[in-house]
Structure 1
Amino acid sequence: MQKYFWQSAALASALTLIAGCSQSISDYTQLTPALKLDRFFLGAGQAYGVMHDWRGQQSVRFVADLCGEWQQGSGDLYEVFYFSDGRVEQRHWQLTQNADGEVRGTAGDVVGEATGQLAGNSLYWQYVLRIPYDGDTLDVTVKDWLHLVDEKNLINRTTLHKFGFKVAELTLSIQQLDANADCSALKQQVAEIAAD
């Protein structure tokens, strides 16, 4: 009986420790500068990223061009990715940012809707991404943390999950280059890649 008690106590302590270590978006409410998508993802930006597989080994690197247009809390974010293995891919996010910090988004390779919450200098959001895999496609759950470092620089840490297991991790830095840039050229490039 005593052995069972100590095993139960050890398990409860471990679960408490694990639960205590998990982060919440509310942890960042007081941090500045405040992240507002319609400010940071406005105009031209550039991102640099590295993907690691489930073993922690670097699998692919990329550079991405970004450009965003916003009007009254709704925005279009255009992205073109240049991968180290020669692939070029695009994504067109259609985003909404509400006054309470709720964020929603859709894109061509996102299944359903992405949902998240802004607080302080951070955004946490989650969605299901459909990716090319071995001649077919694979749906993975994406958990995305974005942290604004200063007005022009943001760090993004992403984990990808399948059947509840982490299968990859992505780290990228994003820099806003010119908030007044015209998105027409990148918008056209996104449309051309999507049509191929």
Structure 2
Amino acid sequence: MLELILFLAALVALWALSRRMMGFGAQQPAHYADTGPAFDLRKHLNGPILCEGIIYGPLGRVDSRFIAQMNGSWEGARGSLKEDFTYSTGKTQHREWHLALGNDGNFSATADDIEGTATGVQSGSTVRMNYRIRLPEDAGGHVLSVTDWMYLMDNGAIMNRSEMRKYGIKVAELVATMRPAND
């Protein structure tokens, strides 16, 4: 019995170490510091933006598709990003981020469905943001830990990949594109 417990403990330790050393969770902003074009929140999350994406559930299948109309505006180091989502089910959702730029590429953000304050950093052609989101009651009302990575492409489009976790276990992943909306 003791051998089984030690074996399971070793497996858990190996799993935790592999999450830190490989894959999505191993990325760090410093890995992208020398990449370009430089991601500037005030420039690239400004004005009307069209976002299209999918959300994968815990079994790796697409659980949801969405289109979002976004609009960013800035006054100095403070900005807002309004997001209006329409899901493939017909359900709609509104979120408004309030962003504050700090020093050295760091920033913070709040929104009504975010627990506490999101923290982020701009580094080279990327932005990483970490936060805890409270799902709507009709989606279970769970609070999930989210890591968002946004990658600026040479043509100005932004690729967004997010992992959502509960108790450290990945329960969803979002993949989306964002680009300036045509008038």
TM-score, structure 2 as length reference: 0.85
Give the match for residue 48 of structure 2: 44
Counterpart amino acid of 1:168?
A: A
The question of whether the paired residues in 2 share the 8 Å contact of 1:49 and 1:173 is answered with yes
Distance in 2 (CA, whole Å) between partners of 1:119 and 1:65 is 25
- Give 1:117 deviation, angstroms: 1.0
Which one of 71, 86, 89 corresponds to residue 85 of structure 1? 89
Are 1:25 and 2:2 matched, yes or no? no
Residue 39 of structure 1 aligns to a residue whose secondary structure is helix
Deviation per residue, 1:21-70 (Å, 9 max, x gap): 32211000000000011000111110000000011001110000010110
Please name the residue that 1:189 is paired with.
none
1:124 has 2:131 as partner? no
Task: Give 1:10-21 correspondences, 5 Å limit.
Answer: 19-21=20-22
Change beyond 3 A, Cα 1:18–1:90: closer
Specify the alignment match of 1:191 in structure 2.
Answer: none
The whole-number CA distance in structure 2 between the counterparts of 1:18 and 1:139 is 21
Task: State the AA in 2 paired with 1:114.
Answer: A
Correspondence 1:70 to 2:74: yes
Residue 178 of structure 2: aligned partner: 174
Number of equivalences: 171
RMSD (Å) for aligned C-alpha atoms: 2.3
Aligned to 1:155: 159
Residues 38, 82 of structure 1: alpha-carbon distance in 2 compared, 3 angstrom cutoff: same
**Cα distance in structure 1, aligned partners of 2:83 and 2:15:** 42
Per-residue deviation, 1:18: 5.6
Instruction: Find the counterpart in structure 2 of residue 4 from structure 1.
Output: none
Residues 108, 167 of structure 1: alpha-carbon distance in 2 compared, 3 angstrom cutoff = same
Q: Is the 8 A contact 1:81 1:90 kept in 2?
A: yes
Report the equivalent of 1:188.
Answer: none
What is the alpha-carbon distance in structure 2 between the residues aligned to residue 135 and residue 29 of structure 1?
37
Is the deviation greater in 148-157 or in 87-96? 148-157
CA distance in structure 2 between the aligned counterparts of 1:14 and 1:139, rounded to whole angstroms:
23
- Going from structure 1 to structure 2, the CA distance change for 1:14 and 1:42 (only over 3 Å counts) comes to closer
> CA 1:79 to 1:14, structure 2 compared with 1: closer, same or farther past 3 Å?
closer
Offset at 1:176?
A: 1.6
> How far apart are residue 14 of structure 1 and its match?
8.4
Q: Percent identity?
A: 31
Unaligned runs of 5+ in 1: 1-6, 182-196
Q: Is there any run of 5+ residues in structure 2 with no aligned partner, and where?
A: 1-6
- The secondary structure found in structure 2 opposite 1:150 is coil
